[in-house]
Amino acid sequence: MIRQLKTQALGYAFALGIGCLPVTLSAMSVGVGPLGGMNFGDAVISNHDQTTMRQGLALGGQLELGVTNPYSLLVEPMYVQKGARFKVLGVTTRGDFDYVEIPLLLKAKFGAMKAHAFVFAGPSLDININTKGTYGPASGTFKDESESIVYAGQAGGGAAFQIMPYVYISGDVRYAMGFSDALKSSIGDVDSWKSRDIRATLGILFHLME
């Protein structure tokens, strides 16, 4: 019951964060393009303090509303491979979580449009599409034990450069934190799992219209 109330509260906070983003969507310059890179996944796992990262892919796209403005709104749906490794009785154990992330990020730019730095932050709705665990040679899927939706947040920074009229390349590094539990029931001695990820991505943005 308490976990359900916490999840509902996080859902309301996520919706409130979206509604309060100070970006006017009308009459805005729009850009779209691919986005991809590497995700270095880790997690806060109950009963296991020593963890190592899972290196996975992060692939998707980006929609930017307000390309030519100092502040803009980013929507960056991505397929992301998350997870972590830890020891159970000396045996390497893996937890692999695959998500479709839908972050809504407020972006602030610094410098000229042709070459500028930027920072961003905002909430993310993460949809679980696969959960797999291994213990030594044994493995199994744990989709039924995993929450279908996880509430998270992202923050980071990077730089973008104009390579031709209306075309920009960018690179960024971000930190992603799971706010809600990725598990709805225990798996072995693991009662809770909250992701902690570092991600490096490259993107191309095509400025479509004013």
For the chain, domains (ranges, CATH) are: 2-209 (2.40.160.20)
pLDDT surpasses 80 at 13: no
| 207: β partners | 31
| 113-170 pLDDT, tens digit each | 899 999 999 999 999 999 999 888 888 899 899 999 999 999 999 999 999 999 999 9
Q: What was the pLDDT predicted at 90?
A: 87
Sign of CA dihedral 9, 11, 15, 18: positive
Query: Which candidate, 176, 179, 173, 174, places its Cα nearest to that of 196?
Result: 176
Confidence of residue 66 (pLDDT cuts 50, 70, 90): very high
Q: What was the pLDDT predicted at 3?
A: 55
SS3 assignment, position 118: strand
Q: Which residue has the tokens 């991809």?
A: 36
| 173-202 pLDDT, tens digit each | 999 999 999 999 998 889 999 999 999 999
Sign of CA dihedral 66, 68, 74, 79: positive
User: Cα(121)–Cα(68) distance, rounded to whole angstroms?
Assistant: 18
Provide the whole-model pTM.
0.83
Average pLDDT, stretch 3-23?
50
Distances (CA, A) of 170 to 112, 117, 119, 179: 14, 9, 12, 27
Sign of CA dihedral 154, 157, 163, 164: positive
Average pLDDT, stretch 17-21?
47
Task: Give the distance, in angstroms, between the CA of residue 22 and the centroid of all CA atoms in the same chain.
Answer: 21
pLDDT surpasses 70 at 2: no
